[in-house]
Amino acid sequence: MKFFLQYQDQFGAWKHYTMKHNERDAYRTMKRRAEATGKRMRMVDEEGQLQEETYTPKQNIFHLVGVLLRIMTSHQKPCTYYFYAQVL
């Protein structure tokens, strides 16, 4: 089975990075590449189905803050949200 590794560019489009035959090697390469470049990576099989997606810890925090800001600004009445984030 073939596994295609893709990264997300600054515009949100997924670009081809490489192709692997071994799933463990593909996962290991994907994780290391995401940590080294700071970009989102994903692994797709030959049928085009998503197998795995990675975020770096910094991306997780920014994603969480963005979601919470969207929630807070979508309400008509003032509301307060408390959240705790642990950075690894």
Rounded to a whole number of angstroms, the CA Rg of the chain reads 16
Rounded to whole angstroms, what are the CA distances from 48 to 18, 30, 35, 52? 14, 17, 24, 12
pLDDT at res. 48: 87
pTM for this one? 0.63
| Domain regions of the chain by residue span | 3-54, 56-88
pLDDT at res. 52: 83
Burial of 60 by CB count in 10 Å (0-12 exposed, 13-18 middle, 19+ buried)?
middle
Digitized pLDDT (tens) for each residue of the chain, 88 residues in all: 899 999 998 888 999 999 999 999 999 999 999 888 888 899 999 998 888 888 766 666 666 677 777 766 765 555 555 554 444 4
